[in-house]
Amino acid sequence: MADKGQADLVMELADGSSNASSGGAEILIQGPEGIEIEVDARLSFSTTNNEAEYEALILGLELVYEAGAKILELYTDSQLIAMQIEGSYETKEKSMTMYLKKAKSLMQQFDKCSIQQTLRCENDRGNLLVKFGIFFYRESKIEKLQSW
């Protein structure tokens, strides 16, 4: 039998991508007892790849928190995002500073939350799904937040 901490562990893999007109966010959530949830969203605004990565991470954090998770391990293939959250890299652009602040604020709502960078080659599923999502219209779009 798994201990209480392991039984409550939720893992989130977040991936974002962008093209000239929009972006996509893919979130893979693995909960207790092998439950998996896959969410992909089309961003209805022009965005950079780094902003799309943060959008995916933030959307996943919100979903996992609303589901009642207490312990979360985050995975991203973005070295920039992982290092900014860990504090090893600084943000330069105002938008990235706002994304970082929002992500850290959401992470603090969990009893325990950590982030790790994965290699892009280890995230093939997420990369394919997010790119697929960019090119197909979805009824549910994420609107860019003007300020947090």
Least confident of 17-26, 60-69, 106-115, 139-148: 139-148
Sketch out the chain's domains with CATH numbers. Answer: 4-141 (3.30.420.10)
15 forms beta bridges with 26
E-state strands within 1-148: 9-18, 23-30, 36-43, 71-76, 112-117, 141-142
Question: CA nearest 98: which of 48, 148, 46?
Answer: 148
107 to each of 6, 13, 84, 104, how far by Cα in Å?
18, 14, 13, 5
Check residue 120 and give its pLDDT: 58
> pTM above 0.85?
no
Check residue 24 and give its pLDDT: 86
Residue in the structure block whose two tokens are 């325990």? 112
Check residue 58 and give its pLDDT: 96
Please answer whether residues 137 and 96 qualify as being in contact, where contact means their C-beta atoms are separated by less than 8 angstroms: no
Angle among Cα 87, 90, 96 to the nearest 5 degrees reads: 110
The tens digit of pLDDT for each residue in 7-57 reads 577 888 888 888 877 788 888 888 887 788 888 888 888 889 999 999 999
9 forms beta bridges with 71
